[in-house]
Structure formats: structure tokens, C-alpha cells
Structure 1
Amino acid sequence: MANRPMSSIFMQDSISGSLVGDLVTGAGPVIQECFDLAALGRTLPDRHFAANGRHYQVTFHAAADRNGDVSEILLVVLDVTRRVQVEHLLRESRRRLIATARRDHLTGLLNRRGLDNVLHRELRRSRRVGKSLSLVAIDIDWFKHYNDSLGHPQGDACLYSVAQTLIGCLRRAGDEACRYGGEEFLLVLPDADIGGAATVAANCQRAIDELDIAHPSSPFGRVTVSFGIAEAANGTEGALVALDTVALLAQADNALYRAKRNGRNRIEFAQGS
């Protein structure tokens, strides 16, 4: 209960006997606001506060004297710690669910849904700040033969190793790797021109060579990868970001196809890059 000269309020547990000012931030103005609202016949808003690791909800109720004037404000305090904890768990579960839905279950890389979100966002940002964005398409050479000859468990192990190697070659916070489908991967490289993307691709190629994963069906005798690189350069024009996304993916994919056609285990660039 709070009179105009503020008094202590009675509660259970460790906050019993505490002053209003100890529990409600800015208690003086809050209580005065309650008196003012009550005098106008208005509803008194609830407040929330935390004390000693617990969460509380406070409801205010006006009490009138014999003349009908508001003389006191009653505070009813409800411990809502459990509710707050459950709400926090639900928010975290939803966040993890959304994150999981955007990740490939085998490699941990972004899946196609995750790629769509990242690529749309980064294309918008690159247009806004006037910087380049590069996309690197990657394909494991002769992977179907590898899978058929060594079995799917070995194929999955190969995919995982390549994925982790690609992640290890991305040194900047904004770079992202995606499993685009089957044995194909994509790297999204914000603020990177064609030269920077080529350096990243070369580093990836060298790192995968160093894995030295035996591939009996490959003329190289080991697992190798092919690369296709496309760049959305400064000032790229387009009516819709989605159209830019489709065009950039198509350019990188065409460059990748050319790398495979020209012997594989090589880096090719989108025409005009």
C-alpha cells in the first residue's frame, strides 16, 4: 500500500517489507501518476520489475476515503518468474528452430533457404553502399562415381570434410558458405571483387587438395573441386533484387559448367567479369 507520503508494502518471500522505491524504478513519479490517473477515473497500468533474481508483476488499485477522494494506492505483486522463464525458453526454441531450418543437416552450412536470405540481404547492402559482391559456385568433381564406388557413408564423410574446409577458408565475418544441393556449394563474399573471390577460390582449391582424399574414379586420383565465379559489381542496376539474385546465380553456375567442361579442378569466371 502506498500513501501520498510513500510507505513500505507487504509481500511474501525476500522482498517482504521492502519500500516501493526499492522495487519499482522511478517509484515516486509512478505512484504520483497512479494518484493522478485514479483521480480522473482512469485505469492504472501494470508494471514489471526484478528483484533478487525473481520477476514480479505489479498491479495498482486505488482506494478512496469516506469523501470519495483517492487516499491510497494498493499494490498487488505477483511472482511471474516461472512465466518469464518459459517465455524466454520459447523464444530461444523458436530462434533455434529458425536457425536449424536454414542449415543443412549434414554439413552445418546454410541450405538453399538460408542462402536466399543471405544473398538477398547482401545484394541490397552492396547496392546501398556501392561495393561489389561475389558469388563462388563449387562442385566436387566426379562425385557420383565417388559415391557409387565407395558408398554413401563415405560420400557423406567427403561432403562434410569439404564443407568444413570451405568454412575454414572464409576469414571475414560477413562471408557465408552454403550447400546448394548434392555435391554443389556456394560461397557468398560481400565486399569482394572478382580478384578477391579468385583468391578465396584458390585458397579453397589448395586446402581441398591438401585433404588428399583418395578418389579412385578421378583422373587426379584424389577429390578435387571446380569453381565458377560471378560478381555483382558496383552500381549494378536491376528492377528487383530477386532478379539480380537469379542473374548472379546463373552467371556463377554457367562459369562452373565451363570449368567442368574444360577439364575440372579449375577456376572459371562469368563472361564479362
Structure 2
Amino acid sequence: MNPSPNAEPKGSVLLVDDIPENLRLLTDILTQQGYQVRSVTSGAMALRTAVAKPPDAILLDIKMPDMDGYQVCESLKANETTRDIPVIFISALDDLLDKVEAFQVGGVDYITKPFQVEEVVARLESQLTIQRQKQQLQQEVLIRRETEEILYQSRALLSSILNSSLDGIAAMQAVRDVGGTIGDFRCLVVNPVVAKMLGKTREELIGNLALRRLVQQIDPGLFQKFVDVVETGETLESDLAYSTSEGDRWYHYIAVKLGDGFAVTVRDITSRKQIELALQAANEKLEVLANLDGLTQVANRRRWDVCLEQEWRRCAREQQSLSLLLCDVDYFKRYNDAYGHQAGDDCLRQIAGAIAQAAKRPADLVARYGGEEFAVLLPNTTADGAAQIAALIQAAVHDLAIAHCQSDISDRVTLSIGLATLIPHPDGSPETLLTEADGALYQAKQQGRNQTVQAIASAVR
């Protein structure tokens, strides 16, 4: 969806790539998503532009003629004006060492070309959210420090500060027994905010020994923490969840030693906590969406590549069999031509659901591999076990009874499946397994489609 022409930009982004076609593609994508985009074709131009008008984020290519992306990032991080700008590398370099170096020079993320639009947008929005949170928290820390300074101002200003402060402020004096042990605290100073939080009036609190009993209702361990502040001199800073008559609230408090007692400031951070929790949930949702195929809601190619590599290494380490199914919808182009692309999309969604129902063990992974092709990863599964799952998939798709008037082999939609099984070698590559499965899929098509063919090399049973 294109943003409204009058909508406020989500943020400003600087694109750095020496290939104009890449810049045009990314500019179109991000502009449609509501970002204000500037683009340059060299590292030197990027540095000048970023210093002159710092963007909210930078998408940076690595391989460029005058300065490579690593050098540009190091220069940005060395400049006080640009050091806090998040840099996301976006490059065709897919080697692990390239990615490690990108993070070592100060990059916050790394996207491999060719990229998916959803991935770029999700990663960019995640980094901008983190940046905004960081700025917000820095501002709040500054405000808290200013509040602490106020505590040490003259007593003449104390009454005015206490009564006007939006934060809770109190000062307590230790009351010790004959052995010197702190048994309670006497309230010396308390402002209306703290009194309201404790459900008391200021008159009921000031001069009384009530802290031990009152904080016991809030947090049984809080009294001892205040004792430790007095005895050790160490500042206590933490968040506290507290149920009041108005509902659950969150408070942030700082307690510092003051004579033979302590002073404490309390701030209601309920709104901030609610925002943080909402942002956390949104980020988790974005992470899930970044790993799903938008049409079929099974894993996408990015998630597939990561899981295949992980399972290959694990099975190689444990010397367990790893099976893979490549599933291709027979005559799908004809289906699209006959029934339309909307029906084609619905067909793919139904087939993805059927495959996922058949391969539903916790470790199994179903992914859209491309177009009308699906891939199924079956860890710790022999060739016989994989063949059984392939049969379940064939049956499930058959039971969908999706009509296909243009198929040469059936009156309904069918699948051709290539099956491969290996015990991975530690020095091998998962491409071996993919190649075997792809060859088996080719044979299945050559032999008439609507069948499963097992690769000859799949000797693990």
C-alpha cells in the first residue's frame, strides 16, 4: 500500500551503492513504504551526505570502487555526528567472514543479495525501532539524573520540589536496635506521590516507623534491599510491578544512601512499559513474518536456507540421516492460465496446508521453495520414513480434489516429488542433498508425473 502524499515519513534512509539499478530498486521499495530516501553512488559522497544531514539509517553496499563499505562504516563510526546512525550492510557477499567483518566495523545488520522486499523492510523497521527506543531511554536517564541532582539542593527548595514533583520522593532514617542492626526506617520526608502510591496521607507517614510493614505488602525482599543501600553505600536502581486499586502499575525507583538512611525517587513508568511490551511483541511478530512466505504462510526461502544448513551440521555431527522432499505442482502454469492467478494462489495455499499436515513433526520444516515448488526437510528420517511422508503428502493433495481440466494425467491437481536421503559428511555441503532431490524430481516428471521418485544415492534406510 502506498503511503498518503501528506503522510509523515517513517524516517530518512541513505542508500549507498555504486550500481544505479540497485539504488533505483531500493528507492522505489522504501519510498512506497513511506520512507524519505536519498541515494549516493560512492563512499566519499556517503560520508559527506551523512555528515551534512544525518539520516535515520544507512543501507550500505560493500564492494565499491573508491572506498569499500567497511571503510565507509569505520569512518561513520569515528565521526561524532554519524557514529550512532545504524548501518545495515546489503551485499551479494555471502561468506561468513564478510558478515563478521561487517559487524566488527560497526554494522547492526547484514542483508544478502538477492534480497526479499519484506526482509529489507522488516529489518530496517526493526533497527529504527531500536534506535528510537535507545534515544527515548537516553532521554529518560537524563531526566532521572536531573531528578537525583534536585535531591541534593538546599532544604529551602525541598518543600517546593516535593510538592510539585511528578516523581515520588522520600527520605528515610535508619532505626537500629542495641546491637546496631537496622530494624526499621523512620520516614523523614515524603511527597504526595509516594503517599498516594502507599495508600496513606503524608501525615500518617512522616515521623512514623512504618516502612518495613508497608514495603512487605509490595515486595517481601524490598526492605532488605533498602538496608543494603544504607550498610554498603551502593545505589539501588530497579523496576517494580505493583498492584493498586487503579490496576497494575510499573514504577522505576532509585535509592541512594543519605546519612544513616536513604533517599528514594520513584517514577511511574507504566506507559513506557506498556509501549516497550507492545514494541517487543511487534518485533517478535516482524521476526516471524520475515521467516514466512506471504502467500502460503509456510517457511520462506530465507528460513529454509538457514534450517537446512543447521540440520546438515547437526546430522553430520550426530551421524543421523537427513531426508529432503522437493514437491512440484504438476502443470501449474496451465492451471493458472485456465483458472486465473487468484485461483492459482488459492491452490498453492491449500497444497501448502496439506503438505504441512502430512509433515507435522516438531523438527519437520515445510517451505515454499519457489513458484509452485515446495520443499520438506525431514531430520533424523530414513529414506523409508521419508517415502511414507511423501505418500501421505500425495494422498493429502489428492483428497483436496482441486479440479484441473488442463492436466494430462488427472482430473485434479497432483504433485511430483523427488526424495533424497543422506547421512551428511562434516566436510560436505547441503547442496549435495538438494541436487539429489532435484534429480529425483526431474525423473518423476519424466516418468509421467504424479509420483514420488527416490534418488539412487539415497541409501540410508
Same fold (TM over 0.5): yes
In structure 1, C-alpha distance between the alignment counterparts of 2:198 and 2:431, rounded to whole Å: 60
Give the match for residue 141 of structure 1. 330
In structure 2, C-alpha distance between the alignment counterparts of 1:121 and 1:88, rounded to whole Å: 31
In structure 2, C-alpha distance between the alignment counterparts of 1:182 and 1:224, rounded to whole Å: 15
- Equivalences for residues 3-152 of structure 1 within 5 A: 3-5=173-175, 6-7=184-185, 11-17=194-200, 19-38=214-233, 44-52=235-243, 53-63=248-258, 70-152=259-341
Give the match for residue 209 of structure 1. 398
In structure 2, C-alpha distance between the alignment counterparts of 1:140 and 1:132, rounded to whole Å: 27
Q: Which stretch of structure 1 is more off in the superposition, 197-206 or 17-26?
A: 17-26
Deviations 1:27-52 (A, max 9, x none): 344223212342xxxx5130222110
Q: Judge conservation of contact 2:240–2:252 (CA < 8 Å) in 1.
A: yes
Give the match for residue 435 of structure 2. 250
Q: TM-score, normalised by structure 2?
A: 0.53
Distance 1:8 1:116, change over 3 A: farther
RMSD: 2.0
Give the match for residue 269 of structure 1. 454
* SS of corresponding position for 1:216: coil
Distance 1:181 1:257, change over 3 A: same
Deviation at 1:2, TM superposition (A): 3.5
Give the match for residue 66 of structure 1. none
Higher relative contact order (CA 8 A, sep 6+): 1
In structure 1, C-alpha distance between the alignment counterparts of 2:195 and 2:343, rounded to whole Å: 62
- Residue 186 (structure 1) aligned with residue 375 (structure 2): yes
Deviations 1:96-119 (A, max 9, x none): 111111111111111101112222
Deviations 1:230-261 (A, max 9, x none): 1232xx2133xxx6222222221121111112
Among 214, 222, 240, the residue aligned to 2:412: 222
In structure 1, C-alpha distance between the alignment counterparts of 2:331 and 2:436, rounded to whole Å: 22
Deviation at 1:85, TM superposition (A): 1.2
Deviation at 1:12, TM superposition (A): 4.6
* SS of corresponding position for 2:361: coil
Deviation at 1:168, TM superposition (A): 1.5
In structure 1, C-alpha distance between the alignment counterparts of 2:316 and 2:199, rounded to whole Å: 58
Q: TM-score, normalised by structure 1?
A: 0.87
Q: Judge conservation of contact 1:61–1:75 (CA < 8 Å) in 2.
A: yes
* SS of corresponding position for 1:58: strand
Q: Which AA in structure 1 matches 2:356?
A: I
- Residue 171 (structure 1) aligned with residue 357 (structure 2): no
In structure 2, C-alpha distance between the alignment counterparts of 1:2 and 1:258, rounded to whole Å: 82
Q: Which AA in structure 2 matches 1:2?
A: M
* SS of corresponding position for 2:304: helix
In structure 2, C-alpha distance between the alignment counterparts of 1:131 and 1:238, rounded to whole Å: 12
Q: Judge conservation of contact 2:321–2:381 (CA < 8 Å) in 1.
A: yes
In structure 2, C-alpha distance between the alignment counterparts of 1:186 and 1:8, rounded to whole Å: 69
* SS of corresponding position for 1:60: strand
Deviation at 1:271, TM superposition (A): 2.5
Deviation at 1:25, TM superposition (A): 4.9
In structure 2, C-alpha distance between the alignment counterparts of 1:101 and 1:29, rounded to whole Å: 46
* SS of corresponding position for 1:109: coil
In structure 2, C-alpha distance between the alignment counterparts of 1:263 and 1:77, rounded to whole Å: 75
Consecutive unaligned residues of structure 1, counting only runs of 5 or more, are 64-69
* SS of corresponding position for 2:384: helix
